[in-house]
Every structure is written in structure tokens, then in C-alpha cells.
Amino acid sequence: METLLQTLLNGAASGGVYALVALGYTLIFSVLGVINFAQGALFSLGGYLTYLLLGGKIGVNGALPGWGLPIGLPFWLALLLAALGSGAIGLLVERIAFAPLRRRGAEPLLSLITSLGAGVVLVNLLQLLMGAEGYAFPQGAAGLAHLPESLLLGGARIRTIQVLLLAISALAVASLSLWLDKSRSGKAMRAVAEDPTTATLLGINSEAVVRLAFLLSGMLAGLGGGLIGMSVSLAGPYFGISYGLKGLAVLVLGGLGSVPGAIVGGLVMGLAEALIPSQASGWRDALAFAILFAVLVLRPSGLLGRRQLEKV
């Protein structure tokens, strides 16, 4: 029997991951006014990269069955490198799916299709390399082995990995907000988000800011994928897509383009799902979207959204 504390912690932990995904969308939406539909695929990629960096082996249906790194990295290093890898592929997605359209002054909506295409290609490449089967992470993955499986907190047993998941996503979200708020490049990004021409006249290279947004956004997705892989497992190359969709719902729930909205929206979504009793777990996704509809009926611009989005 789960205690309320366990339930809330589990909810907050998955909420944290939703927030990571939603923040990834938010960064790109703020600077370009479009949604990057490859975000879910980058989430999958982060999961697989983390698995391999932890020393996991490729399964029998993969391109190189049985292949793997000779040694596994500590989990924090694996997560960091996997995030960077997803960020790098995020940059590539920008080059391939977004930049050519921008250069030709094409209708921004077209990038929905091109980014979806990039995501599909990425997921299929993962399937080619790793096979379609699910992967459980290496038992007692390096660096995690010395941690206890569970902690006793307020009389309740709590899986260590859930605490870690919550702590890491909270740290990522907090550093991102702090960076946007205080750093020179974060301020430049806020300026580009509001008016790219003005930003240019102030000496800001808005193309560089766009690339930075894609790098960070890919890193957030990759980190989310790694965390979910560690706490649950990799259900197959498509596992990131459902998180990508959930992140999209959170984005709309919190208010398009709002950073605090993405965080609050993620937590609301995660907690609401966790409060559904496990015998009715089939209703979880339905509930998520029911909440979304309810909020949008009451507040069309989302929980913390601006009443109107500025016209581009």
C-alpha cells in the first residue's frame, strides 16, 4: 500500500521530467514561435545514450548484437554526456529541419512537418541500431550500486531513484531559470524572444541564440530520457514520443512560452496522474488530457500564460 507521501513524491518525480520536456519546447517556442516535434525522439535518444554509457549492451535485434562499452560510467557522468549528445543532435535537427526554412523565409508552420520528419528518422535510426525491444538498465549501474535501493522517509519506503530523479530535474530546472534570469546569454535569449530585430540592433547575434536554444532544449529532452530510463526502463525506441506528447500537453497547460508555466504545469500533471489509484492506471493518460481540456476551457492561455501572445 502506497502512503500519500510516496504517491506525492512519485508524482513530483514524473512531474519534474514533464517539466524538463516542456521547458525544452518553451525555449524554442520563445525564440522562433514554433514547436520542435523532434523533442520526443531526442528524449528517446537520451535514454539509449545513457543506457550505453552506463555500460549496457546492445540486444540481439540490434545492428551490433552484444556490443557495449567495456566499462560503465558513473550515472551522473553518463546522464551529463547523454544530455550533451542529445543537445548536439538537437543542433543537427535545427540545421536540417529549421534553418533552411528560415533562410528561405518559409511559413514557420512548415517546420512542424520537417521537425516531425527529423524525429521519425531519429527514432528509426535508434530502432536500426538498438532493435525494437525494451531495455532494463544495467543492474546496480555504476555509481548507483553503493546507494541503497530505498530510503525510509517519514515512515514510508521510497525508492532512491525517485528521490534522485526529482532532485536532478529540480536542479536542471532551477539552473535553467537562473541562467535565463541572470546570465548575459540568458538575457540575450529573452531579448530575441521578444523582438529579434531589436536584439540584432543591440548587437545580439540572434542566429547564435537560436542555436543555443536548440542545444539546451535537446539537453533537457536527453536528460529526461536518461532519468526515465534509469527509474523505469526503455520500453523501445518510441518510448520518448509519449513523453514528448505529455510535454506538449504540459506546455499548453502551463501557458505557451512561459517558463514558470512549464514547471507548474509539469508538477500539476505529474501529481494528478500519481493520485489515480494503481488499479485504474489505464485512466492516467485520459486524466492528463481531461485536466488539459478543463484548464483550457477556464483559462484559454494556460495556467500562467500571457493573456495574448504577441503577434509575430
Partner 1 sequence: MSSSIQPPPSLQPLLQIEQLQVHYGSVQALAGVSLQVQRGELVTLLGSNGAGKSTTLRAISRLEPASSGRILWHGADLATVPAHRTLKLGIGHCPEGRRLLNRQSVAFNLELGAYLRRDRSGIAADLERCYALFPRLAERQQQQAGALSGGEQQMLAIARALMGRPELLMLDEPSLGLAPKLVTEVMAVLAELHRNGQTILLVEQNAQAALEIADRGYVLEAGRIQLQDNAADLLKNPELKAAYLGS
> Binding residues for partner 1, per CB under 8 A?
184, 187-188, 190-191, 194-195, 197-206
Q: What number of other Cβ atoms are within 10 A of residue 202's Cβ?
A: 11
Q: What number of other Cβ atoms are within 10 A of residue 263's Cβ?
A: 27
**Contact indicator for 304, 264 with CB cutoff of 8 Å:** yes
The least CB distance from residue 27 to partner 1, in Å, is 16
Q: In terms of CB distance, is 70 or 203 closer to partner 1?
A: 203
Q: In terms of CB distance, is 204 or 234 closer to partner 1?
A: 204
The least CB distance from residue 209 to partner 1, in Å, is 10
Q: In terms of CB distance, is 190 or 299 closer to partner 1?
A: 190
Give 140-201 as a DSSP string.
Answer: T-TTTTTS-SEEEETTEEEEHHHHHHHHHHHHHHHHHHHHHHHSHHHHHHHHHHH-HHHHHH
Which H/E stretch holds residue 103? helix 99-103
Q: In terms of CB distance, is 159 or 187 closer to partner 1?
A: 187
Q: In terms of CB distance, is 179 or 289 closer to partner 1?
A: 179
Measured distance between the N- and C-terminal CA atoms of the chain, rounded to whole angstroms: 52
Question: Across-strand partners of 135?
Answer: 234
CA atoms within 13 A of residue 284's CA, in its CB half-sphere: 17
- Name, in order, each residue with C-beta under 8 angstroms of 208's C-beta and a sequence gap of 6 or more: none
Q: In terms of CB distance, is 149 or 195 closer to partner 1?
A: 195
Torsion of CA 248, 252, 254, 259, to 10 degrees: 70
The least CB distance from residue 302 to partner 1, in Å, is 16
The least CB distance from residue 69 to partner 1, in Å, is 42
CA atoms within 13 A of residue 143's CA, in its CB half-sphere: 16
Q: In terms of CB distance, is 5 or 202 closer to partner 1?
A: 202
The least CB distance from residue 194 to partner 1, in Å, is 5
The least CB distance from residue 266 to partner 1, in Å, is 23
Q: Give the number of residues written for the chain.
A: 312
SS3 call for 108: coil
Q: What is the largest CA-CA distance in the chain?
A: 61
Q: In terms of CB distance, is 146 or 311 closer to partner 1?
A: 311
The least CB distance from residue 210 to partner 1, in Å, is 12
The least CB distance from residue 184 to partner 1, in Å, is 7
d(CA 298, CA 91): 37
